[in-house]
Amino acid sequence: MAHKIIKSLFLLLVLLNLVSNCAHAAPQVPCFFIFGDSLADNGNNNNLVTAAKTNYRPYGIDFPNGTTGRFTNGRTTVDIIGELLGFNQFIPPFATARGRDILVGVNYASGAAGIRDESGRQLGDRISLNEQLLNHAATINRLIQLLGTGKEATNYLNKCLFYVSLGSNDYLNNYFMPSNYTTSRIYTQDQYAKILIDQYSLQIKLLYLLGARKIALPGLGSIGSIPYSFSNLCRNNVSCVTNINNAVQPFNARLVSLVDELNRELNDARFIYLNTSGMSSGDPSMLGFRVIDTGCCPARSDGQCIQDSTPCQNRTEYVFWDAIHPTEAVNRFIASRSYNASLPSDAYPTDISHLVN
């Protein structure tokens, strides 16, 4: 009997050791590079002259490192995707990444940034996608110094995950701001979507030329339904909200077509589309969200939290943290379904877990 107990304990210890080893296994990719806007910014805007920065309380109230410049209460979607990939540290922002930090990847995302250089201009400085690509070229030069040769750096980059998520500001802080921008007077919604995707295509192909071979491209969410759009852009006009949501649909449709085109033309690389608006289209109350039309923190006129304001206590029940950005609870939901699709419509042609393996 004692012999059987000892044997059982031994097997239990072996299993616990296996679980422990799995928990500390190497990440599924050696590095993770992020290009984006405020949904992914983790501090790149902190030292810029701009209203689009969040290095103040109550931002980061639930984040392990406190206030960092993330536009939410806790983790962003890309923070959580990084965890799901097996990284035991957050991907550093380009603004502060030093030395060997860059071997795990770099986050280039910048609040108010767009596919078009001028998008977000009225808020102040921001790092557009074109500038983010220039920053990535600088990172590659540093990788060459760390790894020894250009070939070694390219081989390394070929194995990494690239996440490119822009376009919201080309609508919210450009097309639907006619007092500051002319785009809505020049282009129909379908023409504008085509122009954006044509430029995006060139930018993504440049990323491919710089060594990217595993690229995830999230679509735009229902940006007409965020509290900022409803109260500021639409002045509580429901048909205006519908118009904004309808305007981003041609962008998403063209992005799916672009994924097909890129997979056909660049067949040594893999591109996927993440259907963020589809993921968010169900009944929020089924996921435990009770408040869907207002942010958790008192907001300024530009949609960000008022500095040092007191946010709601029941943050897991709120869809929005401020009047623009989702709470960590929503980010966790989007990240989980982007990584491991719950429905076939969540990701196309596959999800992140299959892209990286």
| Residues involved in catalysis | 38, 322, 325
Residue 2 φ then ψ, to 5°: -60, -40
Indicate the DSSP class of residue 188: -
Measured CA to CA, the distance from residue 169 to residue 117 in angstroms comes to 10
DSSP codes, 311-346: PPS-GGGEEESSSSSBPHHHHHHHHHHHHS-SSGGG
Sequence-distant (6+) residues with CB within 8 A of 311 are 58, 61, 73, 296, 297, 305, 321
- The answer, yes or no, to whether the previous bond of 349 is cis (omega within 30 of 0) is yes
Q: Which residue has the tokens 């030069």?
A: 141
Angle formed at CA 133 by CA 184 and CA 267, multiple of 5 degrees: 95
DSSP β-ladder status, 270-274 and 214-218? parallel
Measured CA to CA, the distance from residue 304 to residue 72 in angstroms comes to 10
